[in-house]
Amino acid sequence: MASLMQTDATIKKNYLTALKEAIAEEMDRNQHMICMGEDIGLLGGAFGVTDGLQEKFGTERVIDMPISEACIVGAACGMALNGKTVMVEMQFIDFISCGFDQIVNMTATYHYRTAGEVAVPMVIRGPAGAYGGGALYHSQMNEAWFCNSPGLKVVCPSTPRDAKGLMIAALRDPNPVIFYEIKELYRKREIEEELESGDEAIVPLGKASISRAGEDVTLVSYGQTVWQCLEAAENLSKEGYSAEVIDIRTLVPLDQETIINSLKRTNRLVVVNEAPMTCGFAGEIMARISQEAFEYLDAPPMRVTRMDTPVPWVKPLELHVLPSADKITEAALRVCKF
């Protein structure tokens, strides 16, 4: 009977558990690491990512903070400057705007202002994205704000392994990282994976992965929309086209070499993200490819993004403004048939 039971090493775990494991393992490894946020201690976080941490590590290392993102980030920055590694949770990534000044004018600039003498080891993380009926205050993908702020690294994983591995890498990085977690993926059973621990689990920042190999068109994305790209790739295969899906995982620094190497084979590009089109990160990827790899393009690149509107609450309207596998399939067919 025992031989039929799964061991801990073979149990598949979800995206949320992967994040929880990464933070707990780093708290164990690094005695100077602390966590700060609203309701992260007694409640265990709005979605349970920090559940059990305060009981294990105490109130001096897992600190419940007042409802003031500016206060939380400012205090965390001060602690990081005094030798702590700090994990900051935003209950929803939408509310990161309330701490914007402390992030972009203070935290992001210390390394530069001190000519590289001062590091700020700090991760600001939180649930992001739509598709769950959260409406305009609980559905944002605002990653482009921080990609535009030198001094910050920006991460958005799509799988449990990457969620854990990138979180460990971010917590060990000497400078600030903004970490976007896709709440629609937190408990998604279909994407559960076996997880490594410690150093074996690390996924380096700044390195993309090829989620699916293909020859006719390159689909580039991150976060939730990677799964829509994979679904679109299945749709395209029924039309006789082979799509390569690249998950960039880290927006800053961006692994454009992997994208360009893919384009050398496929010669066609569709970039997908969940943020609005205007000044979104999909446009940044297209601009870089147009500048650095124009000679490999056999068709104008396309992007599939959210419409330039807040996310509606009503489900049909929410889905109308957001990317989907069908919209990605349509865009890919256009570039393939150009």
End-to-end CA distance of the chain: 59
| Residue located via tokens 């001190």 | 114
User: Distance (Å, rounded) from C-alpha 117 to C-alpha 321?
Assistant: 45
User: Distance (Å, rounded) from C-alpha 283 to C-alpha 238?
Assistant: 29
Task: List beta partners, residue 245.
Answer: 212, 219
Examine the residue annotation and report whether 320 is marked as an active-site residue of this protein.
no
Q: What phi and psi, each to the nearest 5 degrees, are found at residue 305?
A: -140, 180
Q: For 281-289, which contacts have Cβ atoms below 8 Å and span 24 or more sequence positions?
A: 281/143, 281/144, 281/147, 281/251, 284/144, 284/147, 284/254, 285/220, 285/248, 285/254, 285/256, 285/259, 288/254, 288/256, 289/256, 289/259, 289/260, 289/263
Instruction: Tell me which DSSP letter residue 298 carries.
Output: S
| Residue located via tokens 């001096």 | 60
- Pairing mode of beta strands 217-221, 243-247: parallel
Q: Are 238 and 276 in contact (CB under 8 A)?
A: no
- Pairing mode of beta strands 209-212, 243-247: antiparallel
| Residue located via tokens 């059990």 | 52
User: Which residue intervals of 220-324 are DSSP H helices?
Assistant: 224-238, 256-266, 281-292, 315-321
The answer, yes or no, to whether the previous bond of 253 is cis (omega within 30 of 0) is yes
Q: Catalytic positions, please?
A: 138
